[in-house]
Amino acid sequence: MNPEQHHHTIIIGAGPAGLFAGAVMKVPGALILEKKEQPGRKLMISGTGQCNYTHAGPAGDFLKHYGENGTFLKKAIGTFSNRDAVRFFSDRGIPAVTDKNGKIFPASLKAGDILKALTGACRNAGTGIITSAAVTAADKYHEGFRITTGGRVYTCRYLLIATGGLSYPATGSTGDGYVYARNFGHTIAEPRPALCPVVISGFTFGGLQGVSIKNAKISLIRNGKKIREHCGDTGFTRNGLTGPGIIDFSRFIEADDMLEIQLGSQDAASFEQEFLKTSAECGKTSILSFLRSSGLTRSLAAHLLEEEKINFEKPLAEISKAQRKALVQKCCAYPFRVLHKEGFKTAMATAGGVSLKEVNSSTMESLLVPGLFFAGEVLDIDGDTGGYNIQAAFSSAWLAAEAIQSLIQNKGHGG
C-alpha cells in the first residue's frame, strides 16, 4: 500500500454530480476517484447519447418534476438553475438547442461535448480525476476522512459522495454510496427502479410495439381506489407499457396496481353518448370506422374488436348493449394489471437513496457527520424525463462545492 495522499476534498464518482462539483470548485487540489476506466459513462448514454442536460421550463415549475421530494431541491435549483446550466456550457463553447418539448441538449447533440466541457473545467479548476479507482472503503479519520481504493489510501478534510444510484449498473452506479452513507449513520430510503417501463400481467398488446397514444390519460388504481392520475404519451412493449407517460409515472407504480388507460380521445360518457347518437342517426357505420373516429389508431381499434370477437365491419346499430359496454370500458379506461416494473438494468433513475431528512438542503452537507456531503442521484431524489435528473445533479453539486469552499476558507483543509 502506498503512503497516504491528502486532498482538501475527495469526490467519489465522476458522473454529472461529481464532475460538476470538481469543475466549479474554486480551491484547487480536490480529487475525483472514479471506479470505471472513463468518467461519465452514464452521462455518455443519457438522452440516447445526445444528453438532455436540462429543461427550458420556468424555474418555479422545476420542483414539480421530482415527485414528493422536489421541495428539497428548492435552494439548489434556485441557486444554480437551468439557465445557469445553459450559460455554463455556452461559456465553454457548447451552445444549447431546445426541442419542441422544452428539452435542452448541446447543439451538437453529442453527450461527449458535455463530458469534455466538464473534464476540461475540472482541469482548469485544479481538480484531479483518477479513473479505474474503485473506492472500497470510506471512514472517519481524525478531523476528516480516509478513503481506500484497491491500491491506495487517501485522506481528506471534506468528502463528497456522488456515486449515483443503482440503475444501469454497467455504467458504474452500483449503489456503493448507500453503503458508505449507512456506515456514517445515514438512513437509506429503499432504492427502487424509477423511470422504467412496466410489465403487465396477461398482456395482449405485444403485437402493437411501436404504436403510441398521444397524451393518454392514465389512472392509477390501488386496492380498487383511484389514487393518482397522469397524462403522457404511452406505448407498448413486448410485455407491457412504456413511453414518457408511463416512465415518468413509474415512481408511483407498484406490483399489482391497475393502470386504466384511455386509448382514444374521449372519456366514457362522451364516447357512449357519441356511440348512441351515431348508431341512431347513421346505424350502418361500421364499428371499426366509429372507433377510428373516436381517436383510436386502426391497429388499436382492430385489436380491441378482436379481443371482443366483433367483426370490424359490423354496423353500429347491430352492436349489443353488452358489447357496447365492453367497448366503452376498453376504449376509455382499459385495465392493465401491473405484474412488476422493469428492474434496475433498464431503469433510467433510482427512486430512494440517502434520506433527505439527514441532509442540509442549503449545503448538501450531512446533518449527522460534519464535512460529509452528498450530490446527485445518491440522494433520495428522482426527476421526470426531460433533463431534470442531470440538472438536479448539477444543482446539488453546485451547493456542495460552494459550501466546501467556504468551509476551506473559514477552517482550512486539514492538510
Ligand X SMILES: Cc1cc2nc3c(=O)[nH]c(=O)nc-3n(C[C@H](O)[C@H](O)[C@H](O)COP(=O)(O)OP(=O)(O)OC[C@H]3O[C@@H](n4cnc5c(N)ncnc54)[C@H](O)[C@@H]3O)c2cc1C
Please report, as ranges, the residues that interact with ligand X according to CB under 6 A.
12-18, 33-36, 41-43, 45-47, 52, 134-135, 162-164, 167-168, 172-173, 176, 348-349, 376-377, 387-390, 393
Q: Choose between 66 and 236: whose C-beta lies nearer to ligand X.
A: 66
Spatial CA neighbour of 138 closest among 149, 130, 151: 149
Q: Choose between 42 and 413: whose C-beta lies nearer to ligand X.
A: 42
**Smallest distance, ligand X to C-beta of residue 48, A:** 7
Whole-angstrom Cα distance, residue 97 to residue 1? Answer: 48
C-alpha cell at 152: 491506495
Q: Choose between 205 and 373: whose C-beta lies nearer to ligand X.
A: 373
Q: Choose between 264 and 386: whose C-beta lies nearer to ligand X.
A: 386
**Smallest distance, ligand X to C-beta of residue 109, A:** 11
User: Which contiguous run of DSSP H or E holds residue 17?
Assistant: helix 16-24
**Smallest distance, ligand X to C-beta of residue 289, A:** 40
Q: Choose between 136 and 215: whose C-beta lies nearer to ligand X.
A: 136
Contact 395, 79 (CB under 8 A): yes
**Smallest distance, ligand X to C-beta of residue 140, A:** 17
**Residue type, position 408, single letter:** I
Contact 373, 363 (CB under 8 A): yes
Q: Choose between 238 and 345: whose C-beta lies nearer to ligand X.
A: 345
Torsion sign over Cα 7, 11, 13, 19 = negative
- Residue 54 CB burial class (10 angstroms; 0-12, 13-18, ≥19): buried
**Smallest distance, ligand X to C-beta of residue 374, A:** 9
Neighbours of 317 (CB within 10 A): 12
Coil, helix or strand for 199? strand
**Smallest distance, ligand X to C-beta of residue 38, A:** 9
Q: Choose between 79 and 409: whose C-beta lies nearer to ligand X.
A: 79
Whole-angstrom Cα distance, residue 255 to residue 196? Answer: 13
**Smallest distance, ligand X to C-beta of residue 11, A:** 9
- With a CB cutoff of 8 Å and minimum separation 6, the contacts of 87 are none
Nearest-10 crossing angle of helices 82-90, 111-125: 80
